Amino acid sequence: MSPAHAQPGRSQTMVGAVLLLVLAVVAAGVFWQQFRYDPTQWGRLASSAGQGAGPLASLSLPGLSPLDAGQTFGPDTLSDKIDGKAELYLAAGFERLYARRYALTGQSAAWLEVFLFRMRSAEAAYSVFSSQRRAGAVPLTITQNAYRTSNAVYLANGSDYLEVVASAATPALQKAVLDAAQAYAQAQGVKKSAASEAELFPPQGLQANSVVLLSKDAFGLAGLDRVYIATYPRGPQELMAFLARRADPAVAQAAAQGYVKFLLDNGGKQAPEPAGLPGARLVEIMGTWELVFSQGPFLAGVRGAEDQAATLALARLLRARLSEAKP
Amino acid sequence: MSPLLPPEEMDRRDFLRRAGLAGLGLAAAGVLGWRAYDGQGPLGSGEVGPQVKLPSYAVPGQAQKVALVKGSHRVPALRAGLEALGGIKAFVQPGDQVALKVNAAFASPPALGATTHPELVTEMVRLCLDAGAKRVVVTDNPINDPASCFELSGIGPAARAAGAQVVLPSAEAFQPTSLAGGRLIKDWPLLYGPLKGVNKLIGLAPVKDHHRSRASVTMKNWYGLLGGRRNIFHQDINGIIAELGRLVTPSLAVADGVASLVKNGPTGGSLEDIKPTDTLILGTDQVAVDALAVGLLGLTPAQVPYLGLAVAAGVGALDLKPLRVELG
């Protein structure tokens, strides 16, 4: 066949053009319709929780009667249960929440609710446990990290974070929340806590149960994640020591420089390098002192104190502890 | 030879036959598409009514009034605060239909401070009915199961006992709304059913710490008028609260800081999260009410970003001087 015969005829061209036009109309229609998605999901008026209490279903709680079958929440539905506090859990590493309500047998008005949060790791569980710790709470020995308040028990156990909250602070309910927490520990077994870094803080003057793990954006600096903080009361003021393990010394040093830059960008003024703390950076910001350094794989420092001498003294203790720590 | 149509296999008749079949195919696809076309868009499981716009519920002549009452009991504090603002009759007239927007977000007991205290609900219902209100409706779209929330918080029984009608959210109670110039509230389901026929809207909110917005008071309370997957707004919590302030102009906003949830909000959980702050704040400027209330949480208005956004949007003022009442 000659090349001229390879050319399509007029009719073929017309049909091809019509087909292309139809395809173009379809594409335009799809493009236009994509803006008509339903962002609201009208059907979702009530909680979208799953049914079932998961591990709580098999919990043996003498003296308590379940008020419901229990509910299960995932990352997409956690806020259906705890609203704005969901972000705290999601940032730390949340996987699932099982919740179930129980009443004292024969007394439906005296009730408690068990919340079992399954977190991604023991570190994540410790983070949500420590960042919500109630002042004046009474430590418990059910697990390594546990305490009770007048109407509730809170504990971290491996990658679990458990809350048992009663509707009132009556003696019967106080006993019931404690029994429920113990029943959980017995059923699940006591697991190791994650907070080994917490033991690196100098014990001298450390306020008991004050170590908190900040999962995300510590001190307002985006990306400053997984930072342990501890409180040291010094007369009328408090000093805060902090430390964060990084992948290696170079990363820790870069993190320290990044935090110092953040302070300076926000109005801080750098002071001369303090004696006995080579490489440390001392910054005055809003009338308080911040001392930042890296030691091996650790970013560390002391912040928020008006007393420079106390800041430096605590920093020296912290640095000495970190220099003895396993890299 | 054309790679597309070998001429030895196609003559004019064959081509026309194929073109005809292609045309029929297209026509069939068109008919199918036309039959399947949903001109209204996705509706989910419920019927969606027409767009609605909330009217202003502001009472003429009562703008920019705020009272701050120091007292440790809700009922006398509410009465004293209303008296300072001119009495309940300045806000509720005979024949009015009043909606009380409570915070019944969680199925938690009143003592935990995460929801509006039933004592406040009871007293406000009584006052409205005593002022001649034809009907008082108490409503909210809770985070948890609505029936459990209203019962366990004590709000439902308290409202019913005082003579109010408790309206729980249902699919048909929601209608879409859009905030003019809004960035977030567009075509969003609004709990409008309980507000039909209502001409006065009163917000009753506890003063709470909030993990995302730092504070949850009267403006955040309007979040309970939204339906749908509203949790996506947590990514811009300050923006949505400021928009809610623009969407809702109440007759009166009441912030209950007699006891405040000062830590681990908005759910709390431990009684140790509650602090007696002995203050009730009420007024017609919701920004001013919230600005005073955040002080009970140890915050300044500058530390609560949604307040600045609300002021910039013209919702209210931060610096209104309250009428102070000391109950001793």
Q: Please state, in angstroms and as integers, the Cα–Cα distance from residue A121 to each residue in A79, A210, A213, A245, B261, following that order.
A: 20, 21, 13, 16, 29
Q: Do A80 and B266 touch (CB under 8 A)?
A: no
Give residue B42's pLDDT.
53
* β-pair type (B323-326, B66-70): parallel
Give residue A1's pLDDT.
44
| Tokens linked to A39 | 């962002």
| Mean pLDDT (chain A, rounded) | 90
Mean pLDDT of A100-117: 95
Q: Do B44 and A165 touch (CB under 8 A)?
A: no
Contacts of A42 in chain B (CB under 8 A): 43-46, 48, 171, 174, 189, 227-228
Give residue A50's pLDDT.
72
How near does any CA of chain B get to the CA of A300, in Å?
26
Residue A277 has pLDDT above 70, yes or no: yes
Least confident of A130-139, A250-259, B84-93, B302-311: A130-139
Give residue B4's pLDDT.
52
Distance CA B57, CA A176 (A): 47
Contact B114, B163 (CB under 8 A): no
pLDDT, tens only, A65-89: 999 999 999 999 999 899 989 999 9
Give residue A45's pLDDT.
46
Give residue B6's pLDDT.
55
Distance CA A232, CA A210 (A): 9
How near does any CA of chain A get to the CA of B181, in Å?
18
User: B44 or A18, which is more confident?
Assistant: A18
Distance CA B45, CA A111 (A): 34
Q: Do B109 and A167 touch (CB under 8 A)?
A: yes
Q: Which of B19, B108, B234 faces A79 most closely, judged by CB atoms?
A: B234
Give residue A41's pLDDT.
54
Does the ipTM surpass 0.85? Answer: no
> Distance between the two ends of chain B, CA-based, in angstroms?
103
Q: Do B234 and A132 touch (CB under 8 A)?
A: no
Q: Do A42 and B189 touch (CB under 8 A)?
A: yes
**Judging by beta carbons within 10 Å of its beta carbon (0-12, 13-18, 19+), is residue B324 exposed, middle or buried?**
exposed
Contacts of A15 in chain B (CB under 8 A): 19, 22
Residue of B nearest to A33 (CA): B41
Q: From the first residue on, what is the mean pLDDT of each consecutive set of 10 residues in chain B (328 residues)?
A: 55 83 88 76 58 96 96 98 98 98 95 97 98 98 92 97 97 92 93 97 98 96 94 92 98 98 94 97 98 98 97 96 93
Residue of B nearest to A6 (CA): B2
Q: Do B270 and A149 touch (CB under 8 A)?
A: yes
How near does any CA of chain B get to the CA of A84, in Å?
6
Contact B310, B277 (CB under 8 A): no
Distance CA A322, CA A232 (A): 17
| Tokens linked to B324 | 């102070």
Q: Please state, in angstroms and as integers, the Cα–Cα distance from residue B214 to each residue in A91, B110, B210, following that order.
A: 17, 21, 4
User: A30 or B198, which is more confident?
Assistant: B198
Q: Do B2 and A6 touch (CB under 8 A)?
A: yes
Give residue A198's pLDDT.
83
Q: Which of A19, A101, A151 faces B270 most closely, judged by CB atoms?
A: A151
Distance CA B9, CA A13 (A): 18
Which pTM value belongs to this model?
A: 0.82
pLDDT, tens only, A146-177: 999 999 999 999 999 999 999 999 999 999 99
Contacts of A40 in chain B (CB under 8 A): 44, 176, 187-189, 227-229
How near does any CA of chain A get to the CA of B158, in Å?
15
Give residue A112's pLDDT.
96
Distance CA B71, CA B170 (A): 38
